[in-house]
Amino acid sequence: VSGSLFGVHEQVGQSGLGADAPLAARMRPRTLEEFFGQSHFLGSDKLLTRMLEADRLSSLIFYGPPGVGKTSLATVIANYTKAHFHHLSAPSASVKDIRDVIDKAKNRLAAKGTRTVLFIDEIHRFNKAQQDVLLEDVESGVLILIGATTENPFFSVNSPLISRSTVFQFEHLNQEEVFKLLQAAIKDKERGLGKYDIEVEEKALNYIALMSSGDARKALTALEVGVLSQAKRNKNITIKFNLEIAKESIQQKTIDYDGTG
């Protein structure tokens, strides 16, 4: 599956990403080929891949822990489908914000035939009235809704909205996937750390991959801390990312705890 043509993005409440953005933000995948993880539904002959290939994408609910690619995959899907992309954060969005997006989506579809992807982060934070506003236009296809949540959507999202959506449960990245992501970030000269002269110990990357607990954002942040902390001391040195540096660059492995059981 290829997604080389970028869609148009309109992010509400988020600034554009530049060279000063964190490594984890800069390394967000742009195509399906650049996306790591979730091969149980995104891979050859898997459900989401089939939906994209058939151009029969319904609204989606992405459910899973932080740092596993929910926002990244929503952006890639918008690129792949050549759709306009809106981003709303549920805690700060109002019904007016939703209605504005819907009105623009209707006009865009009528004038240009362009569909709209509305990505809602933390959709479980929307109340019933906010979720109900979406129902008619999700069902009619005016909007492709992609909602992201860290909570079980079958308890936190309204049943009518769930029935109009396909739910995909995200899993933590495995150690090999995180390792490959770190390697990609080190080699990437445009968005990653490729402009630096870095000597990397494989066991250092394996350590980061293990201690990040499958969280890509945490792993990339640790790599960036280890590299930049040396680069800013002396710009002309070869940066050695060894096991000692890796241990100093990442916190201890986290243990997930759900207070609600």
* Euclidean distance between CA atoms 101 and 251, whole angstroms: 40
- Report whether 240 contacts 248 (CB < 8 A): no
- Report whether 57 contacts 138 (CB < 8 A): no
Closest CA to 158 of 192, 123, 185: 123
pTM of the model: 0.81
Single-letter amino acid, residue 168 = F
* Euclidean distance between CA atoms 194 and 30, whole angstroms: 18
Q: Give me the tens of pLDDT residue by residue for the chain, a chain 261 residues long.
A: 433 333 444 443 343 456 788 999 999 998 888 999 999 999 888 999 998 888 888 899 999 999 899 999 998 988 888 889 999 999 999 999 999 999 999 999 999 999 899 999 999 999 888 899 999 999 988 999 999 999 999 998 999 999 999 999 999 999 999 999 999 999 999 999 999 999 999 999 999 999 999 999 999 999 999 999 988 877 668 899 999 999 999 975 544 545 554
* Euclidean distance between CA atoms 130 and 212, whole angstroms: 35
* Euclidean distance between CA atoms 203 and 241, whole angstroms: 10
Distance of CA 137 to the CA centre of its chain: 24
pLDDT of residue 20: 80
Which two tokens mark 3? 């997604």
Cα angle 73, 74, 80; round to 5: 85
